[in-house]
Amino acid sequence: MKFVKRKFIKIVGFSIISTLFFSINFLKAASKKIINPNLSNKQKDIMFNEATERPYSSKLLNEKRKGFYHCANCGNKLFASTSKFDSGTGWPSFSEALPGAFKTKIDHTFGIKRIEYHCAKCGAHHGHVFDDGPTESRKRFCNNGLCLIFKPE
């Protein structure tokens, strides 16, 4: 009798744990989703596996026209061209994002504490934000160019 009871607790315990595990995984999957079916493997790698493009590889580095930068996955409007500046880092850089464009999270990769940001609409990873920007906000959004689509005005 005692044995049966223990087995029962074991099974119930296991189902509770697996239910929790699966719901956490489900939440993770739900917050990040591929919307644009034309994303390249490199874009998917950056946006969904938190990879980084090679510095000085983005065509957007020299983009100086007036307009807005959108999320390459979902089209969410992220930056105005007026906040873009040349940081010398080799990645498109911005002193501020449009209100509500991103959600941030602390990233400890390589043992360094950095603030990572994701598109608030589709959850795609875009880059890291630092506190050494050139304007009063002191912010420097270091963005992977492959995650952005520029629409001139």
Binding site for Zn ion (CB under 5 A): 71, 73-74, 76, 119, 121-122, 124
Q: Which is nearer to Zn ion, 5 or 97 (CB)?
A: 97
141: exposed, middle or buried (C-beta count within 10 Å: 0-12, 13-18, 19+)? buried
What is the closest distance, in whole angstroms, from the C-beta atom of residue 66 to Zn ion in the complex?
22
**What torsion, rounded to 10 degrees, do the Cα atoms 145, 149, 152, 153 define?**
-130
SS3 66: coil
CB of 119 to Zn ion, least distance (A): 3
For Zn ion, the closer of residues 125 and 140 by Cβ is: 125
- Which lies closer to Zn ion via its Cβ, residue 91 or residue 102? 102
Say which of 71, 119, 122, 142 is annotated catalytic.
Answer: 142
Query: Letter for the amino acid at 69?
Result: Y
Structure-block tokens of residue 74? 């979902």
Active site residue 142: yes
The candidate with the shortest Cα–Cα distance to 76, out of 97, 107, 52, is 97
Q: How far is the CB of 69 from Zn ion (least distance, A)?
A: 11
- List active site positions: 142
